[in-house]
Amino acid sequence: MKFDKICILGLGYIGLPTASVFATHGLKVVGVDVNPRVIEILQAGEIHIHEPGLGQAVRQAVESGNLSVASVPEAADAFLIAVPTPFHDDKRADMRAVTSAAEAIVPHLRPGNLVVLESTSPPRTTVDLLVPILERSGLKAGADFHVAYSPERVLPGQILRELIENARVIGGITPQSAQAGRDLYATFVKGEIIQTDATTAEMVKLMENTYRDINIAIANEFSRLADRFGVDIWEAISLANRHPRVKILNPGPGVGGHCISVDPWFLVEAAPDLAKLIRQARQVNDSQPHFVVDLVRETLGDLRGKRIAALGLAFKPDVDDLRESPAAEIVHMLQKEGAAVKAFEPFKPEGLPGIEAAPTLEDALAGADLVLLMVSHTQFRALTPAQLAALTSCRLLVDTVGAWSGPAWAAAGFDLRKLGVRKQI
What residues are annotated to the active site?
Answer: 205, 259
Instruction: Provide Rg for the chain, Cα atoms.
Output: 23
9 touches 80 (CB < 8 A): yes
CA torsion sign for 409, 413, 419, 425 is positive
Which amino acid is present at 61?
A: A
Residue 405: which residues within 8 A CB-CB, separation 6 or more?
234, 418, 425
Closest listed residue to residue 323, CA positions, set 112, 120, 163, 109: 120
Distance between CA atoms of residues 134 and 104, nearest Å? 9
Closest listed residue to residue 384, CA positions, set 417, 409, 410: 409
Distance between CA atoms of residues 14 and 17, nearest Å? 6
Closest listed residue to residue 218, CA positions, set 207, 233, 204: 233
In residues, how long is the chain?
425
User: What are residue 318's phi and psi, to 5 degrees?
Assistant: 60, 30
Distance between CA atoms of residues 342 and 309, nearest Å? 5
